[in-house]
Every structure is written in structure tokens, then in C-alpha cells.
Structure 1
Amino acid sequence: MRIGIANDVPMAAEALRRVIAATPHHQVLWIARTGLEAVRMCAENRPDLVLMDLNMPELDGVEATRRIMDESPCAILIVTGRPQDSVNQVFRALGAGALDVTATPMLAGQAEGGGQLLAKLRTMEKLIRHSGGSQAMLPRATAAAPEHKGPGVQSLVAIGASTGGPVAVATILAGWRAPPDCAVVVVQHIDENFADHFVKWLADQLVMPVRAIEHGDKLLGGTVMVAKSNDHLKLDEKLQLGYDAVPREYAYRPSVDVFFRCVAQHWRQDAIGILLTGMGRDGGEGLLALRQAGKTTVAQDQATSAVYGMPRAAAELDAAQLTLPLPKIGPFLRSALGGR
């Protein structure tokens, strides 16, 4: 991959350059010392991937990400000192279009930090390749099962999101208390090392309780339940939630397609599937499986998507009954399901 580095700290930029130079698969295209310079360099010489720091002069990483995604869209990985100390900034950057986040390797401890960064680069390369370039991914559907009811849960909202998803999820659920017989499950493409931070951040944005899903959990009414593993979230015939590494070849982990198809196969009650902003094609075929199973399906529109990849895949398959701008998805949920 051709990689741009946006970091104003010389030692950090050099650590990133050395990690990239140590592998024949990647090359450093340029190094920007300010956010504004990163925006300009993306416009002049667009890379496959930008390694974006959060704190830079002239324009911080959040605004630089927003500008790049508006003017010269490309894949962006947030690489910053201690991501856990900048949770709000991280999720603002993810909402602006960044794909993921990882810690900056230090020159002194490059064996460990460099290995983590290279693993992220392999994942990014796979996502970009499967997307057909800098922006836009694919799997299949299944059949029916005997009727089961969750303990008190009669309706389910299944939400899938990727690039720009954290802010989009918070927007549609803000201020709403789902009815006690309605469960909300969120599958957001995010590294498991940062999933707990996402849960805490989302809980700060919402009035509903938010919890990470543990293997073996049952659906909980009136609660937002969030996938927290790099393995795929599944719902089995006993309506029990769990994680599974299979299918291993899927670039997106956890896969929205996998969970949506499980809901289509095993959930016999009312359900609404919502596919939000995201790079690639994950979720399109799963949303189609939900529609074919008689569930209500919604996709975010192009104008309000940070990246119109996943919703576009749903549109191409005619998987969404409704295509709505982000500000109208929350009101639609309230009118369809009630609650406070």
C-alpha cells in the first residue's frame, strides 16, 4: 500500500516510517507535519491509507479526517499515543470517516508496537482490496427455523455500521428509551481492544442502558447490546448470542452480514434491520435476507453517510424497504416501536 503519515512529532513519525519500511508490501508516500498539510497532500498525491494522529497544529486529526473524506476520500487509520486517553476524539474521528484506531509504536519498543501496527495494516489492506479501491464487501442468505421467543423480548432492532458508524448509531438512538420488550443489538466494525471504550462512550450519549455482549447472553429488552469481539456475533436457534470465528475469510469482523442472516433465520418476531454508513459491502446481503424473511429494512441515504459503501450495496440489491437520511431514522424507530 501507498501510505501517508500525518504526525507532527518527529520521533513518532520516524517510528511509523521504520515499521512501514521494514515490509516490502508498503511504502511511505509522504509525511505531513500538520493536519492542513495532510489534507493538501491527500489532494495532490492520494495514498491508499493515511496514518492520522489526533493532535496536530493548524488542524487536528478529527477535522483533517473530515476534510480528507469530503475532498479526497481515502482509508484513514487513527494512530495516536494512548487511544484510551482520547476516547471522545477517537469516536469523533471515527464518526468523521476514519476506519479504525491503534496506538503509535515507539522507537524503543518497536518489536511489540510495530507488530500491532503491521497487523492493522494487513487488515486495512484486506478491507481496501475487498472494497475495490479506497472505498466500498460480500457474503449469503439462509432459511427458517422453529418459532422461539426471547424472555420477554418481542421485537428486535439490529443495527450494522462501519466507517462513521459510532456517531451515526448515537444519533439514531439519542434520547430514546426502547420499550421493555424491545432489544437493540449493534454490530459496529471496531477492534476488540477498543470495543469496551465504544460501549462506555455510547452509554454516555444515550439514556438507554448499554452493555457489551458476552458469549452466551440472551437478548435484553430496553437495552442496547453491542458486539465486542473480532469474531462474528451470532444468534442461534435458542435465541442465544455468541461469538464464532467462522467464516474466517470475511475481512469485516464482526460481520454485519453474519448477524443479520442469523436474525433472518432464527428470529420469528418483529424485527427492524438498519444498515448505516460504512466502507465496503458488508451488511447488504444480510439486509436482503432480513427483507426476504419479512422484516422491516432501512438503509442510510448517501447524502448523510460518511462513506456510502455498505448502504450502496443494500441499494444495489434492493435490500432496503426504506432509504432515510440519518436524522429521520431515529424518529422512524420511535413511531414504529414506541417507547419514551
Structure 2
Amino acid sequence: MKIGIANDVAPVAEALRHAVTDGTGHQVSWIARTGPDALRLCLEARPDLVLMDLNMPGLDGVEATRRIMREAPCAILLVTSHPEDQVGQVFRALGAGALDVTATPVPGGGGNGAHELLAKIKTIGKLIRSDHVVPAVVRAGLQRVPSLAGPVRHLLAIGASTGGPVAIAAILAGWQAPLDTAVVVVQHIDASFAGHFARWLNDQLSMPARVVAENDVLQGGVVQVAQSNDHLTLSAGHRFHYRPEPLDYPYRPSVDVFFACVATHWAASATGVLLTGMGRDGAAGLLAMRRAGHATIAQDQASSAVYGMPRAAAEMGAAMNILPLGKIGAAIRDRIRE
């Protein structure tokens, strides 16, 4: 993989160069010391992946990400010191199109940081290839098993990836879901940052946002957020579980897997929403939901940070409605009122 590094601290940039090239087969195409340099180099020699620091002169990592995704789109991984102390910036950058975030490996600080960085690069390499395989749980042509009766009468299932955090906040902003309506979010994000994501959403929204723990039940009036690198599933008894299979599926947690569970086990009314993201995860699951009689919505191209997952849904006929981000929230509320 051809990799660009955007970091203005020379020793850190050199440590990153060494970490990603030492016996990995990756190549560092360039090192940029400023945000404008990163944009220019992406335009001149677009890499497969950019390792983007959040704090740089000229353009910070958020704005550099936004400009690169608009003018020379490529995969971007945030690699920055102490990301847990920069949560607001992290989620703005993820909303602008960055795929994921990891802490900068400390030079001379051991191999764990470099190992985590290389693991994320490996996963991103799988995401940007075209060999997408739909999980067997979605391919199988699921037989519907009605769920047990309960206080939740409508399930809003939202899936997103690249650009998703800001998009999710936008469609749920200023709204309190009724107590008989559950909201479940499956966002591609590393487990180490999922708790920060739930707390960030909690600050953005009028209703509470909480991470989903193993064996939790559906709750009305609350945004429940997947928090594991394992896949979130929903049983016929309205309980959440995490499972590692499919192990080799690069999208974690998988939107396809959760949407397929809704199609299989949820007999009451539901709405599936597939937002911006790289790849095809969620499209087959959204189609399963539509075939099960649920309402389905996909974000349109113009408002998507990356038009991958929604495009796949549109091509498969999985979405009953393809809408700009600014109209999805109203469509959800209209559906629930019906």
C-alpha cells in the first residue's frame, strides 16, 4: 500500500515511516509537514492511505481531511497523540471523512502502538479492496422468526461508517424518540473509542445515548450504540449480544449483521437507515429489512462524505427512499408517527 504521512513533528513522522515500512511491504510516498502540503501532495501523488495528525500548521487535521476528501479523496486514518483528549476534533475529522483513529506510537516506547497502527492499516487495506463478501447470516435467505411482544413498538436501526458520527448527530438532533421507539446505532469505530462516541452523541442530542452491553434489552427513548469490535446482534427476545463471527469480515461491528437480525427477529414496525461510508457494508442487510416489510432509507450521494455504502444499497434496490441528509430526520419522524 502507498502511504502518505501528514505530521509536522520530524521525529514522529520518521517513527511512523519506520513503523509502516519495516518488513510490511508498504511504501511511504511522501511526508507532509503542514495541512496545505498534505492536500497538495494528495493532488500530485494520491496515496492509498494518509496517516493524518490532528494538529498541524496551515490546516489542522480536520480541515485537511475535509479538503482532501473533496478534492483528492483517499482513505485517511487519524494518527494523533492522546486522541481521547481531543474527542471533539476526532469526531469532526471522522465526520469529514476519516476512517478511524489511533494513538501515535511513541518513539522508543515499545511495539504495542506500532502493532495497533499496523492492524488498522491492514483492516483499511481490506476495506479499500473491491472483494466484498456478504456475511453468511445475510446471504442465507433468512427465515423470519417473530420477536416477543414488548414495550418497544418501533425500532430505528442506523448504520454508518466514514463520515457517520456527524451524519448520525444531524439526523437525530433536536428530537426525543418516543418511549415506545428504540434507536440503535452501528457505527464502524474501534471499541477503544466507542465509549467516547456515545458520550459525544449524548452531548449533541436531546435524548440520552448509551453503549450497548452484552445481554442488554432494547430501550425506548434512548440511543443505544454498539461498543465492540465484535458484531452486534439482536435476539428474538429483544436482547443484544456480541459475537466475533464472521471473524474475517473487515467491517466491525457489521451493519449487515445487525440489519439481518432485525429482518429476522423483529416483527413490529422498523426503519433501517444506511448513511455515508466506504465499502458496501449494510446494503445487503438493508435489502433484507426491506424484504421483511420494513421501511428503508439511504443517504444520497451529494450529502455523503463517502458514497460507498449508500450507493451499494441504491444499486441493490435496498432503499425505499434515497434522501439528502437534511431530509432523513424528518422522514424518520414521519414514519414513526404513522
Taking structure 1 as the reference length, the TM-score comes to 0.96
Deviation at 1:20, TM superposition (A): 1.1
Instruction: Give ranges in structure 1 of 5+ residues lacking alignment.
Output: none
Which has the larger displacement, 282-291 or 123-132? 123-132
Matched, 1:138 2:134: yes
**Contact 1:35–1:58 (CA<8 Å) still a contact in 2?**
yes
**In structure 1, distance between residues paired with 2:131 and 2:145:** 33
In structure 1, the residue matched to 2:320 is 321
SS in 2 for 1:129: coil
The percentage of aligned residue pairs carrying the same residue is 63
Deviation at 1:110, TM superposition (A): 3.8
Aligned runs of 1:298-313 on 2, under 5 Å?
298-313=297-312
In structure 2, the residue matched to 1:286 is 285
Q: Counterpart amino acid of 2:29?
A: L
**Contact 1:131–1:280 (CA<8 Å) still a contact in 2?**
no
Deviations 1:141-160 (A, max 9, x none): 4121134123x101000000
Q: Counterpart amino acid of 1:8?
A: D
Aligned runs of 1:245-264 on 2, under 5 Å?
245-264=244-263
**Contact 1:97–1:307 (CA<8 Å) still a contact in 2?**
yes
Matched, 1:169 2:168: yes
In structure 2, the residue matched to 1:125 is 125
Matched, 1:109 2:109: yes
Deviation at 1:24, TM superposition (A): 3.1
Change in CA separation of 1:191 and 1:147 when aligned onto 2, cut-off 3 Å: closer
**Contact 2:6–2:33 (CA<8 Å) still a contact in 1?**
yes
**Contact 1:131–1:281 (CA<8 Å) still a contact in 2?**
no
Q: Counterpart amino acid of 1:79?
A: V
Which has the larger displacement, 319-328 or 139-148? 139-148
**In structure 2, distance between residues paired with 1:278 and 1:242:** 24
**Contact 2:177–2:207 (CA<8 Å) still a contact in 1?**
yes
Q: Counterpart amino acid of 1:138?
A: V
**Contact 1:15–1:110 (CA<8 Å) still a contact in 2?**
no
In structure 2, the residue matched to 1:75 is 75
In structure 2, the residue matched to 1:233 is 232
Deviations 1:242-288 (A, max 9, x none): 10001112110000000000000000000000000000000000000
**Contact 2:209–2:225 (CA<8 Å) still a contact in 1?**
yes
When the two chains are superposed, the root-mean-square deviation of aligned CA atoms in Å is 1.3
SS in 1 for 2:111: helix
Q: Counterpart amino acid of 2:7?
A: N
**In structure 1, distance between residues paired with 2:162 and 2:185:** 14
- Stretches of 4+ moved more than 6 A in 1? none
Which has the larger displacement, 174-183 or 105-114? 105-114
Deviations 1:307-327 (A, max 9, x none): 000000000100000000000
Deviation at 1:338, TM superposition (A): 4.0
**Contact 2:147–2:237 (CA<8 Å) still a contact in 1?**
no
**Contact 1:298–1:320 (CA<8 Å) still a contact in 2?**
yes
**In structure 2, distance between residues paired with 1:109 and 1:266:** 48
Deviations 1:120-168 (A, max 9, x none): 1111111112468xxxx63424121134123x10100000000000000
SS in 1 for 2:128: helix
**Contact 1:288–1:320 (CA<8 Å) still a contact in 2?**
yes
In structure 2, the residue matched to 1:221 is 220
SS in 2 for 1:5: strand
Deviation at 1:101, TM superposition (A): 0.1
Deviations 1:155-189 (A, max 9, x none): 00000000000000000000000110000000000
**In structure 2, distance between residues paired with 1:299 and 1:32:** 36
Q: Counterpart amino acid of 1:225?
A: Q
Q: Counterpart amino acid of 1:77?
A: L
**Contact 1:178–1:337 (CA<8 Å) still a contact in 2?**
no
In structure 2, the residue matched to 1:88 is 88
Deviations 1:7-53 (A, max 9, x none): 00111101101101212321111000000000000000000000000
**In structure 2, distance between residues paired with 1:177 and 1:338:** 13
In structure 1, the residue matched to 2:44 is 44
Which has the larger displacement, 320-329 or 15-24? 15-24
Change in CA separation of 1:131 and 1:66 when aligned onto 2, cut-off 3 Å: farther
**In structure 1, distance between residues paired with 2:164 and 2:146:** 33
Change in CA separation of 1:328 and 1:123 when aligned onto 2, cut-off 3 Å: same
Count how many residue pairs are aligned between Structure 1 and Structure 2: 334
Change in CA separation of 1:256 and 1:55 when aligned onto 2, cut-off 3 Å: same
Which has the larger displacement, 186-195 or 230-239? 230-239
Deviations 1:38-72 (A, max 9, x none): 00000000000000000100111001000100011
